[in-house]
Amino acid sequence: MYEIIGAAIEVHKELGSGFLESVYEEAMIYESNKKKNPFETQVKIPIFYKGYKFQKEFIADYIGFKKIIVEFKCIPCLTKVEEAQIINYLKATKLKIGLLINFGSKEKLEWKRYILT
């Protein structure tokens, strides 16, 4: 997890705030490759309801080390809405660790870790 946060800090230090999510995602791909951190981006995740698989899937921004789901944001500050989103993503994927990384904060990189037990 700290490798992902370190890469995000490096990206934010270099780019600052103000770009679209897609720019930060590409920079995270660059940093992850450079650091040899295993990852996948734009991963399609199926959604189930009472055993029924929806046709609609959600797309995870980034999954690191095959166990950490990461959601990138570019907003002034993280809110309960984004928190609910990452928690639902964890439930849908059955993963235990999630990171919200917000590149939109003007002061510094904002990140928050979530662990489901």
Residue-level pLDDT at 32: 94
> 51 is in which domain, residue-wise?
2-115
CATH of the domain at 29: 3.40.960
Q: Into how many domains does the chain fold?
A: 1
Residue-level pLDDT at 45: 87
The string of DSSP letters for 88-102 reads HHHHHHT-SEEEEEE
pLDDT in tens, 39-98: 999 999 888 889 899 999 989 999 999 999 999 999 999 999 999 999 988 988 889 999
What mean pLDDT do residues 86-111 have?
Answer: 91
Residue-level pLDDT at 93: 84
Any idea what the Cα angle at residue 83 is, between residues 82 and 85, rounded to 5°?
Answer: 60
What mean pLDDT do residues 97-112 have?
Answer: 92
Residue-level pLDDT at 96: 95
Nearest to 26, CA basis, from 75, 99, 39, 87: 39
Residue-level pLDDT at 1: 82
pTM of the model: 0.88
What is the pairing mode between strands 97-102 and 68-73?
parallel
Residue-level pLDDT at 97: 96
Residue-level pLDDT at 80: 95
